[in-house]
Structure 1
Amino acid sequence: MGCLSREQEVVMEITQALAEYVVRTGFADLPAEAVTQAKRAVLDTLGVTLAGSLEPCARIAGEVIAAEGGQPVATVIGQGFKAPPRAAALANGTAAHALDYDDVTSSMRGHPSPPLLPAVLAVGEETGASGRDLITAYVIGFEVQCKVGRGLGQSHYPHGWHATATLGTLGATAAAAKLYGLDVERTRMALGIATSLACGSRQNFGTMTKPLHPGVAAQSGVLAAQLAARGFTADRAAIEAPLGFLRLFSPAQDAQPEKVLPDLGNPLDIVAVGIGVKKYPCCYGTHSALDAILELRERYGFTADDVDWVTVTVPNSGGQPFVKAGAAGGDGSTGDREAPPVGLGPLIHPRPTTGLEGKFSMQYCMAAALLDGSPVLDTFSDQAVRRTEAQALLRRVELVQAAEPAEPGRGWAEVAVTLKNGTTVRTRVDQPRGGPDRPLTWDELVAKYRDCAVRVIGSEATEESLRLIGELEHLSTVSDLTRLTAGRRTAATV
């Protein structure tokens, strides 16, 4: 390396080191806790994918894929047919994120499983992978996308990139390369190809295109590995090079490539940082506040009619408060104060008019919790968001950004409710229920899975799939599980 410092040498080796890690890591190298976390993630993600398969965005994706045809290799979950692996990954990744009910991790400031598991399942069916192969590929993909995420600058997300999609493309590629059995050089090429396939704009939050992001990431991961397997080339340092992934996706030139490799594989982020499982089917940025307002509602016994004003204070995210184009300011007729409605981070819809927008509105989530209690899937229908009482109440919710920043993985929120009798009650939640430090129990995950799955595949297939996921490391072939998740084909996909 001549006169380069050791730090510079390490930075120059990122793509190579990641490829070596993918190839050398096997099931026997995984700690027991990583296997447990992977199984929890499969259970949760498969459940929300099944429920998400009923959503219009997933159905449209399925219709497009069915119309194109192709070899019936991999299951399109919940839609009753098989498709080529890339196509199945696209449909299933879209369905996995359709409800915004899927898991999160602070390592990548996004959703790890929706791009990752659909790629693993599609390629796993194609290659005859076992349950152990699935777990190994999932953990490897998780580690790659999260460790690369450490090297991205803080500017990545505030400038509009959706990390679930950008980093998820690399994770899906690593997992697919593992299942295809690529060697180090071809895995390195696959990762390089993936850097040019990564994309995803946060401007599309609250529309069908947001769940498309992990679908495209899963599809791109499979494509990158397939191309590389056949000798397709890319730059050998595409992640760390001056014009590579890390610097390209750090708009403020704040990439930190030196942070990617020091802990690669030890400790694994899936264990050391962990996964947050969603208790509510909406943006994770609302969950601490939802826990807080539901706690206050239960403790003090007030109803929505008793509430004059709600103030939600959240950590400083480094971004600027904004009003999404088209959001109305206060007019005094519905309880609005003079300041326009504010959005922060991913919560870009202070005045939502659709169910999808409601998932990214702190104002609506607080109003819904006051009106209905704990949010459920039906809370985020267009009809529910457009209710007169919800629209009136959300105009009495303000969102404030504190000077205090969030600690990694701790999206705290403080909620203050002022009642019409002049009393103000408040509480703070430091991490929502379901977060890594406050995990849902296995029984709670099972209950969530049943609620999501039974409406699509019925009780018998739901219970059998639960059994197989519980014994995933002993499963001889992934297809034994995916066949139970097929569901029924609709007229539009015949």
Structure 2
Amino acid sequence: MDFSRALARFVVDTDYDDIPAYVFETQKKSVLDAVAITLGAATLGDGCKEMVEVATENSYGAVGDAAVIGFGRKLPAPWAAFANASMAHSLDFGDTQMRAIVHSNASTFPAALAVAEKLGGVDGKTLLTALVIGSEVACRVSLGVEQDLERYGFYMPPIYTSFGATAAVCKLLKLTEEQVVDAFSFDLCQTTCSAELMNNRDTVVRSIREAFAAKNAVLSGLLAQKGLKGFAEPFEGKLGFYHAYARDETDLDRALEGLGSSFEAGTLYFKLWPSCAGTHPVIASVKKLVEEDHIAPQEIRRVHVVTSQRNRMLAEPEEIRKAPATSMIAKFSIPYTGAVAILRGDVTLDDFQPAALQDGAVKALAAKFTYEVNEAWGKAEGMNTDVTIFTDRGEHHHFYTEVGLPPRDATFEELTAKLRSCARHAVRPKSEEDLGRIADTIRHMESLEDIAQFTSLL
């Protein structure tokens, strides 16, 4: 199967008029979401400030092509992409494609925005088209894998997204089909991520991981533009991506099914809780049980969670998840987020501040969480979650599943409120009027003659 060529052909041949309107509406929500998160992560994200400093220090004396969101400065495109992407996923608050299990815009948006600014004169329709193409490619590459690959030592979301970011960059650079394949090859040789991040309470890699993917995507497109040659089959080759990462446990027909006519990029889940999507079923379940059964925290004896293979990392190692030392570990903790939801009725950015992590009541309740893994729940059932709260009055049970259900569709208004909430933590405060102007510009991005009208607001 000529998988690499098929993806490259999709990148080259797909234009604005080929993409349904609802997909663009989803993509605009994703842009709004990304700007919101980036503004907040500038001060709240683990390691983000230092990543921006590294990007700035290594750009000294160079021409600034693209904006670093919220910082009032411009850097060369690769370093601007690096800086923005370090913040894009840091709060673990970004959109998710639930079928492909990938944050398809996490490095795609920063990389594409930087290159569009570098090129100059790019209009809103062109940027939106590149973003949709990038998001779609990230999803398709992921759908080619049949199993979760953490067991082989790889943390896949930023790896999948790196190819999407590369596709978006290639579209903006107007590369040929052959050059796109070359760019995928160069990205394959640069981008990876170790699953060891799941076992380390002190690492910032989970927070800033998309920085490498975005920067490498920009470089990959620019290398291909120069005419440098990569591999003919970077994905499906005998020793290519799918062999190296997935041990050939693949379904490439599924990955390409409907490519160009149906869009995975049009079905994204937008988070209204700032934690890993895998914690959301627990948050939703305990909130439902507490509200409907009028459960008081003091009567809870135990909270038992049955989770999937994919989400076991949110409960293991137990000593880390029950007493998270950092905000990022807390965001990836079923016991912590579940305890917060029970005690406070919601989960917000404030719940991941240093003082909040030391809350004795939350720690005591998190210690009452137990878990088991249902090994039969594979990739397709990754969000399946079974929650039982044991109290003095008896057992309270809720089963959560998304199998066969459409993703929850957050409104533009909800995401605008999220922008205002995140922007409270920005390095450079923005007025309500400024935030309203950003949201309105994104809502009508297809009408922009030059995306400078958008980036000037950032």
Q: TM-score of the superposition, structure 1-length normalised?
A: 0.85
User: Partners in 1 of 2:160 and 2:127 — Cα distance?
Assistant: 20
Match of 1:21 in 2: 10
Match of 2:26 in 1: 37
**Does the 8 A contact of 2:268 with 2:407 survive in 1?**
no
**Does the 8 A contact of 2:56 with 2:79 survive in 1?**
no
Gaps of 5+ in 2: none
SS at 1:260's partner residue? helix
Pick from 101, 116, 124: which aligns with 2:108?
116
**Does the 8 A contact of 2:46 with 2:208 survive in 1?**
no
Q: Could you report, residue by residue, the CA deviation over 1:49-77 in whole angstroms, capped at 9, with x for unpaired residues?
A: 11112234221111111222221110111
User: Partners in 1 of 2:350 and 2:314 — Cα distance?
Assistant: 29
Mapping of 1:58-457 within 5 angstroms?
58-68=48-58, 69=60, 70-128=62-120, 129-205=122-198, 207-251=203-247, 253-271=248-266, 274-317=267-310, 323-324=316-317, 328=319, 349-402=321-374, 404-405=376-377, 408=380, 411-419=383-391, 421-431=392-402, 436-456=406-426, 457=430
User: Partners in 1 of 2:265 and 2:55 — Cα distance?
Assistant: 32
User: Partners in 2 of 1:288 and 1:391 — Cα distance?
Assistant: 20
SS at 2:370's partner residue? strand
Pick from 451, 455, 458: which aligns with 1:478?
451
Aligned length: 447
AA aligned to 2:255 is V
User: Partners in 2 of 1:99 and 1:323 — Cα distance?
Assistant: 20
SS at 1:401's partner residue? strand
Q: CA deviation at 1:404?
A: 4.8
User: Partners in 2 of 1:278 and 1:409 — Cα distance?
Assistant: 19
**Does the 8 A contact of 1:186 with 1:231 survive in 2?**
yes
AA aligned to 1:367 is A
Q: CA deviation at 1:291?
A: 0.7
User: Partners in 1 of 2:381 and 2:21 — Cα distance?
Assistant: 23
Moved more, 300-309 or 167-176: 300-309
**Does the 8 A contact of 1:164 with 1:214 survive in 2?**
no
User: Partners in 2 of 1:409 and 1:393 — Cα distance?
Assistant: 27
User: Partners in 2 of 1:261 and 1:367 — Cα distance?
Assistant: 41
User: Partners in 1 of 2:416 and 2:343 — Cα distance?
Assistant: 27
SS at 2:256's partner residue? coil
User: Partners in 1 of 2:422 and 2:148 — Cα distance?
Assistant: 35
When residues 461 and 436 of structure 1 are mapped into structure 2, their CA distance, relative to the original with a 3 A threshold, is farther
**Does the 8 A contact of 1:367 with 1:394 survive in 2?**
yes
Q: CA deviation at 1:267?
A: 1.1
When residues 40 and 322 of structure 1 are mapped into structure 2, their CA distance, relative to the original with a 3 A threshold, is closer
Structure number with larger C-alpha Rg: 1
User: Partners in 1 of 2:128 and 2:380 — Cα distance?
Assistant: 26
User: Partners in 2 of 1:283 and 1:418 — Cα distance?
Assistant: 25
Q: Could you report, residue by residue, the CA deviation over 1:416-462 in whole angstroms, capped at 9, with x for unpaired residues?
A: 1112x242212223249xx9432222221221122123542232221
**Does the 8 A contact of 1:275 with 1:436 survive in 2?**
no
AA aligned to 2:236 is E
SS at 2:106's partner residue? helix
**Does the 8 A contact of 1:98 with 1:211 survive in 2?**
yes
Match of 1:339 in 2: none
Moved more, 278-287 or 310-319: 310-319
Q: Please, what is the CA RMSD of the aligned residues?
A: 2.2
**Does the 8 A contact of 2:105 with 2:134 survive in 1?**
no
Q: TM-score of the superposition, structure 2-length normalised?
A: 0.92
**Does the 8 A contact of 1:238 with 1:245 survive in 2?**
yes
SS at 1:53's partner residue? helix
**Does the 8 A contact of 1:75 with 1:82 survive in 2?**
yes
When residues 95 and 322 of structure 1 are mapped into structure 2, their CA distance, relative to the original with a 3 A threshold, is closer
When residues 393 and 408 of structure 1 are mapped into structure 2, their CA distance, relative to the original with a 3 A threshold, is same
Q: Could you report, residue by residue, the CA deviation over 1:240-277 in whole angstroms, capped at 9, with x for unpaired residues?
A: 101001111114x4133343333222211123xx1111
Q: CA deviation at 1:213?
A: 1.7
**Does the 8 A contact of 1:48 with 1:449 survive in 2?**
yes
SS at 1:349's partner residue? helix
When residues 150 and 89 of structure 1 are mapped into structure 2, their CA distance, relative to the original with a 3 A threshold, is same
User: Partners in 1 of 2:213 and 2:52 — Cα distance?
Assistant: 16
